């Protein structure tokens, strides 16, 4: 298969579509909602989730014939990267969420700053982890060397994120494959959909609801903060409080001591994917405003308690929510890129010289600015 071959598509195996939950109806109840009522509202339908994958034309074996060694190549590359820097798990998670949420999972966030209009220039994407960005491109090179240009950067990012979570102690996410790479970056208005770290529960529910995600997704995807750190600038709103600070907030103020670039772990085990993040919320030690808000609001508190008491339940729900997120369709599908940082060349029979030059300015992260849901300013 030629280097510039466009990716094949698959017909949908069904005409079902995901029936999205009407977020305004589900969460119109007061914050004193009982756990039983809240659980009924937050729990989604497995049938709906399966229908979404079929409608998107995705499947776990999409590349089984064209690239049978794909999974092994990705897994070994992630293992190698984590031996050097365990924080690559947090880096991949943040990149994956920040890619999917604005306009779908299409690797648009990978396009480098020399490509014009790069999402990496947006303040929401400050500090994307360079090691994780480079890892995706390194995997692409190995995959295309073995299989030709048959696997998109979007699929490689999804699969690498799954393996990174699993290797950090979390569940394996059986990512369905078959995504297209975008032609260009997401527009600014789409990137602005990324939720800031100052959001409360109502804002989070509305924002996620607009993307077809529900309250359960808000809570369990926030659980990705069990790995990684945050710059002090990301919780400056808590430091700036003049009155009403609790002991933890006073501790954050003293820790940062005016240095907005200093970094604070988001839970007590920042290298392990576990449920300790939720225990921290129960103890009032959520670092970000958007994190601690989940325990202060009755609409989400019950699920924080469930995830804190059962890591198995958190893992199960996390897999379900990550699969829902991964099924958000790209808005501007194009051919497979010959370099994840560079727009694909259309109509070419082989890669151009520009396609083969790796863009070393793809991101300026220092490797440990790893917020997932919260878009640091």
Q: Which residues have a catalytic role annotated? A: 98
> Are 209 and 299 in contact, with CB atoms under 8 Å apart?
no
Q: In this structure, what is the dihedral angle of CA atoms 119, 123, 128, 130, given to the nearest 10 degrees?
A: 80
> What residues form the annotated binding site for Ca(2+)?
99, 104, 106, 108, 119, 226, 267, 269, 274
Helices (H) and strands (E) in the chain, counts: 16, 4
> What residues form the annotated binding site for substrate?
195
Please, which residues bridge with residue 230 across strands? 264
Secondary structure of 151-186 as H, E, C letters: CCHHHHHHHHHHHHHHHCCCCCCCCCECCCEECCCC
> What residues form the annotated binding site?
99, 104, 106, 108, 119, 195, 225-226, 267, 269, 274
Residue carrying the six token digits 């494959």: 177
> Are 362 and 123 in contact, with CB atoms under 8 Å apart?
no
Distance of alpha carbon 297 from alpha carbon 301, whole angstroms = 6
Collect all residues with Cβ–Cβ distance below 8 Å to 88 and sequence separation of at least 6: 78, 81, 82, 129, 131, 132, 135, 164
Q: Reduced to 3 DSSP states, what percent helix, strand and coil does the chain have, rounded to the nearest 5?
A: 50, 5, 45
Give the count of beta carbons closer than 10 Å to the beta carbon of residue 123.
Answer: 12
């Amino acid at each position: 298969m030629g280097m510039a071959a466009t990716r094949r598509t698959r017909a949908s195996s069904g005409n079902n579509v995901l029936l999205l939950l009407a977020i305004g109806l589900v969460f119109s109840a007061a914050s004193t909602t009982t756990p039983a009522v809240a659980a009924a509202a937050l729990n989604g339908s497995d049938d709906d989730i399966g229908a979404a994958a079929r409608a998107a034309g995705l499947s776990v074996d999409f590349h089984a014939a064209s690239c049978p060694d794909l999974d092994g190549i990705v897994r070994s590359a992630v293992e190698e990267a984590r031996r050097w820097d365990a924080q690559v798990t947090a880096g991949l998670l943040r990149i994956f969420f920040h890619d999917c949420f604005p306009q779908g999972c299409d690797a648009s966030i990978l396009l480098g700053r020399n490509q014009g209009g790069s999402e990496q220039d947006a303040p929401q994407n400050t500090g994307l982890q360079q090691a994780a960005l480079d890892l995706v491109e390194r995997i692409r090179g190995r995959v295309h060397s073995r299989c030709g240009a048959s696997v998109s950067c979007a699929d490689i990012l999804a699969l690498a994120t799954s393996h990174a979570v699993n290797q950090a102690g979390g569940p394996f996410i059986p990512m369905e494959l078959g995504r297209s790479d975008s032609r260009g970056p997401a527009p600014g208005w789409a990137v602005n959909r990324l939720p800031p770290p100052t959001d409360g529960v109502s804002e989070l529910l509305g924002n996620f609801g607009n993307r077809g995600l529900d309250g359960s997704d808000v809570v369990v995807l926030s659980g990705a903060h069990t790995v990684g750190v945050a710059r002090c600038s990301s919780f400056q709103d808590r430091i700036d409080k003049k009155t009403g600070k609790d002991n933890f907030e006073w501790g954050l103020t003293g820790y940062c001591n005016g240095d907005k670039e200093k970094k604070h772990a988001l839970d007590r085990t920042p290298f392990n994917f576990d449920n300790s993040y939720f225990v921290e919320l129960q103890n009032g030690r959520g670092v970000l405003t958007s994190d601690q808000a989940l325990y202060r609001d009755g609409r989400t508190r019950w699920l924080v308690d469930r995830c804190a008491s059962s890591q198995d339940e958190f893992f199960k729900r996390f897999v379900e929510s990550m699969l829902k997120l991964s099924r958000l369709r790209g808005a501007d599908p194009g051919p497979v890129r010959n370099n994840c940082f560079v727009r694909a060349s259309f109509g070419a029979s082989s890669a151009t010289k520009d396609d083969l030059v790796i863009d070393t300015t793809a991101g300026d992260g220092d490797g440990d600015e790893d917020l997932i849901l919260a878009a640091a300013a």
